[in-house]
């Protein structure tokens, strides 16, 4: 008898800072997306850079840690940062205002697709990624 092959995720769900914050707060919409991701065997990720936006003195740290334990925090590597810079250049953007969005966009584009990003800023992510990912406003 042969062993069945391990399940392969059918894509990736990416949380930006608002998506992660709402997950920590157990927002009904984001919770539904996370349940759907689990049911469909999607990877759920965020960027390590997103943590910089989310962690502050008033955040419920135990809820944050529990939420983070249920997803993958992707590192910001040199190649990823360079890809983010290229995305900014290609979109005609620059500066710190767009830096974390660009890092999240590069993270989403590097993830196994199809990729969906839950974001409070769909315009910037659509500008950076075009139609290569699905962007959902939350």
Q: What is the pTM of this model?
A: 0.91
Task: Examine residue 114 and say whether the peptide bond preceding it is cis (omega within 30 degrees of 0).
Answer: yes
SS3 state at 74: strand
pLDDT digits (tens, 9 = 90+) for 45-76: 999 999 999 999 999 999 999 999 999 999 99
Instruction: Give the model's pLDDT for residue 58.
Output: 94
103: confidence class by pLDDT, cuts 50, 70, 90 = very high
Average pLDDT, the chain: 93
1: confidence class by pLDDT, cuts 50, 70, 90 = very low
* Record: fold of 16-119+132-137: Rossmann fold (3.40.50)
- Calculate mean pLDDT across residues 111-137: 95
At CB < 8 A and 24+ separation, what contacts does 63-69 make? 63/24, 63/25, 63/26, 64/24, 67/20, 67/23, 67/24
Instruction: Give the model's pLDDT for residue 10.
Output: 78
Cα gap 138→98, rounded to integer Å: 19
Domain ranges of the chain: 16-119+132-137
How many CA atoms are closer than 13 Å to the CA of 39, on its beta-carbon side?
6
């Amino acid at each position: 008898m042969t062993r069945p092959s391990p399940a392969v995720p059918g894509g990736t769900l990416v949380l930006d800072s608002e998506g992660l914050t709402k997950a920590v707060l157990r927002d009904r919409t984001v919770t539904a997306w996370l349940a759907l991701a689990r049911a469909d065997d999607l990877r759920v990720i965020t960027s390590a850079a997103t943590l910089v936006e989310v962690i502050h003195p008033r955040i419920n740290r135990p809820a944050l840690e529990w939420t983070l334990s249920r997803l993958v925090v992707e590192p910001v590597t040199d190649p990823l940062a360079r890809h983010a810079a290229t995305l900014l250049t290609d979109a005609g953007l620059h500066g710190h205002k767009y830096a974390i969005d660009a890092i999240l966009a590069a993270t989403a584009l590097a993830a196994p697709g199809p990729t969906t990003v839950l974001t409070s800023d769909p315009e910037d992510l659509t500008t950076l990624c075009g139609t290569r990912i699905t962007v959902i406003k939350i």
